[in-house]
Each structure stands twice: as structure tokens, then as C-alpha cells.
């Protein structure tokens, strides 16, 4: 699907054009091979780079060909309850800006419904606004992940298997985010140098805000990863400590009960034993065993073996 949007400085709303006009935004979603060939031919673009835009494993990077800037980045989205990232290519030239992705951009309605102040003829400004909205897709999911991690960490001793599984899922998501956000940060720094695009003062300020927001997202992701690792290590330590206490308790009880058991076993043999014919020997043995057990309990308690 290919749509051409247009809005100049005098326009009040975004228009959809039937034909290309200088200063347009060419929005491409899930293009076919023939559409990519058509785009490459009509707008003098590198066909191989356009094909890279529909590669789900494409990593963020930047290319410059024939005075056209190709910015590959990834946006976050959710599908079937799973948070994932999808590549998007933003091509910026003096005459137009083009976005290519296999999925619809989650923030496209903000542009089409005029919720944002932008003009397609200002291609550099529009590039930065799209990158800003790409960052916003990460912010939403990172905030939700942070809240869930905090809620689980409060009840550390009550962690269940499903919580551990969720932590593993969060780690996968956060690592996926970092693999997109860190290269994107490098791209923004390169653009900020002004070597690839001539930057106006307002564009430079916007780009600096985007870079700052991107770095904050990186820090949040890294902080959440460290928190997950710390929680998992703390939980493992608690479980190991609890297990050691249980083993220590059963070992102590085994030792405490061994001596009384030996004495009782001896007096259970069919041989002549001291006091075997005394009418009160059973009471004496029980009392003796009780005293020994109490003494052992006191010794084990004072030595903190229990």
C-alpha cells in the first residue's frame, strides 16, 4: 500500500494526493516487490536499501546515497500479547520524505488526524517528528514493564514460577529494545553533527530533545534489566538460604533422635540387660531419653545448629 500525504505551510489539514507532488510524504506499508521496484525507479532510490526495509531482522543504521538520507530504525508494538519491534525505513530528501514498513506505524493516526503540528514540505522537521514518535512507542511499554517489576519485587519471598517466566520475557523484550535504541542513539548523534543534513536551529533543538529522550529510554531499559537480575539473584539466595535452614533442621533432628533411638533399640533386644527385671525400668528409660533429647536440643540451640 502506497499513500501520498501533503501539507504545506499554508495548509490547515493533511491531504491525500493521487499523484506525487514536491514536498510530499510517501507512506508505504507492507509493499510488494513490484511496488518497491516502482518506488526505486520513480524516486531514484536504491532498490536494495528499500528491500532491507521489509527485512524483519534489519537493525537500525544510516546510509547516504545520492544526497538522500536512509534512516533504518525500529518501533515497538504488541501482537498477541507479545511486545516486539518492527523495522521502519525513513528516506529523507529535499523533495520528499518516505517511510517504509511491513506494519502500519502505531502513531500514524497522530499525523493523519492532525493531532501534531507538522508540514510535509519541511522534510527535515518531519523526519525528526517521526523519530520522536518512534521513541514514544518504547516509552509506553517501558513504563508498563517498570510498574510490573516494582509490583513483583515488593513481594520477593512470594515469587512464583509464572513471575520468573515473566521476568525472562521482560529480559527478552528489554534486550530487543536496547538492540534498537543504542544504534538509534548513534544515528541521532551522527545527524546532529550536521554533516548529512543542514540543520536549522529549531530542528537542532528538536533533535537534541529526541537524543535525550532516546538516551533516557536506554537508561530505563538497562535499569530494568539490572533490577530483574538483582531480584532473581536475591530470590535465588533466599531460596538457597531457606533450603539450607531446612536441611540443617532435619540434620539436627536426625542427630538428636539417633541417641535415644540407639538406647531404645538396645533395650528392645532379647538379652539380659541392666535393670531388665525392674518394674519401673520403662519409666526410667523414657525419662532418660527425654533428658538426653532436651540436653541435645539446648546444645544445638546455643550453637545455632537449629
Q: Does residue 266 surpass a pLDDT of 80?
A: no
Q: What is the pLDDT of residue 292?
A: 80
Q: Mean pLDDT over residues 195-208, rounded?
A: 85
Q: Mean pLDDT over residues 150-172, rounded?
A: 77
Closest by alpha carbon to 254, among 298, 282, 296, 224? Answer: 296
**Mind listing the pLDDT tens digit for each residue in 46-63?**
889 988 888 888 899 998
Q: Compare 228 and 218 and report the one with higher pLDDT.
A: 218
CA distances from 198 to 65, 189, 230 (A): 16, 14, 45
List b or e across 73-91, with b for residues whose CB sees 16 or more CB atoms inside 10 angstroms. bbbbbeeeeebbbbbbbbb
C-alpha cell at 51: 528491500
Do residues 53 and 40 lie in contact, with contact meaning Cβ atoms separated by under 8 Å? Answer: no
Q: Does residue 284 surpass a pLDDT of 90?
A: no
2-239: CATH class: alpha beta
d(CA 144, CA 121): 36
d(CA 52, CA 113): 29
Q: Does residue 298 surpass a pLDDT of 70?
A: yes
Gyration radius (Cα) of the chain, Å: 35
Q: What predicted TM-score, i.e. pTM, was given to this entire model? A: 0.76
Q: What is the pLDDT of residue 265?
A: 77
Enumerate the domain spans of the chain.
2-239, 244-302
Mean pLDDT of all residues in the chain? 84
Q: Does residue 140 surpass a pLDDT of 90?
A: no
d(CA 201, CA 180): 27
Question: Is the dihedral angle over the CA atoms 124, 125, 128, 133 positive or is it negative?
Answer: negative
Q: Mean pLDDT over residues 3-27, rounded?
A: 84
Q: What is the CATH number of domain 244-302?
A: 1.20.58
- In which region does residue 29 sit, left (phi positive, over 0), alpha (psi from -120 to 50) or beta (all else)? beta
**Mind listing the pLDDT tens digit for each residue in 83-135?**
899 999 999 988 889 999 998 888 888 887 777 778 888 888 889 999 999 99
Cβ-in-10-Å burial (0-12, 13-18, 19+) of 25 comes to: buried
Amino acid at each position: 500500500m502506497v499513500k501520498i500525504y501533503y501539507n504545506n505551510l499554508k495548509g490547515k489539514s493533511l491531504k491525500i494526493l493521487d499523484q506525487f507532488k514536491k514536498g510530499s510524504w510517501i507512506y508505504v506499508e507492507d509493499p510488494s516487490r513490484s511496488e518497491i521496484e516502482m518506488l526505486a525507479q520513480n524516486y531514484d532510490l536504491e532498490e536494495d536499501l528499500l528491500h532491507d526495509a521489509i527485512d524483519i531482522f534489519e537493525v537500525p543504521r544510516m546510509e547516504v546515497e545520492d544526497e538522500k538520507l536512509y534512516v533504518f530504525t525500529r518501533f515497538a508494538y504488541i501482537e498477541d500479547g507479545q511486545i516486539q519491534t518492527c523495522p521502519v525505513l525513513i528516506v529523507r530528501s529535499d523533495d520528499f520524505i518516505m517511510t517504509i514498513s511491513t506494519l502500519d506505524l502505531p502513531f500514524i493516526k497522530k499525523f493523519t488526524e492532525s493531532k501534531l503540528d507538522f508540514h510535509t514540505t519541511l522534510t527535515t522537521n518531519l523526519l525528526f517528528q517521526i523519530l520522536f514518535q518512534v521513541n514514544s512507542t518504547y516509552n509506553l511499554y517501558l513504563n508498563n514493564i517498570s510498574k510490573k517489576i516494582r509490583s513483583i519485587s515488593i513481594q520477593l519471598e512470594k515469587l512464583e514460577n509464572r513471575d520468573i517466566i515473566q521476568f525472562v520475557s521482560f529480559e527478552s523484550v528489554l534486550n530487543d529494545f536496547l538492540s534498537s535504541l543504542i544504534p538509534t542513539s548513534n544515528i541521532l548523534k551522527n545527524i546532529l553533527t550536521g554533516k548529512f543534513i543542514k540543520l536549522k536551529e529549531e530542528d537542532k533543538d528538536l533533535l537534541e530533545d529526541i537524543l535525550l529522550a532516546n538516551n533516557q529510554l536506554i537508561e530505563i531499559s538497562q535499569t530494568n534489566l539490572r533490577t530483574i537480575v538483582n531480584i532473581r539473584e536475591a530470590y535465588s539466595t533466599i531460596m538457597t538460604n531457606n533450603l539450607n535452614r531446612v536441611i540443617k533442621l532435619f540434620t539436627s533432628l536426625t542427630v538428636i533422635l539417633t541417641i535415644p533411638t540407639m538406647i531404645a533399640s538396645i533395650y528392645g533386644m532379647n538379652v539380659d540387660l541392666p535393670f531388665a527385671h525392674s518394674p519401673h525400668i520403662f519409666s526410667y528409660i523414657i525419662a532418660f531419653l527425654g533428658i538426653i533429647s532436651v540436653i541435645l536440643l539446648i546444645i544445638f540451640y546455643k550453637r545455632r545448629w537449629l
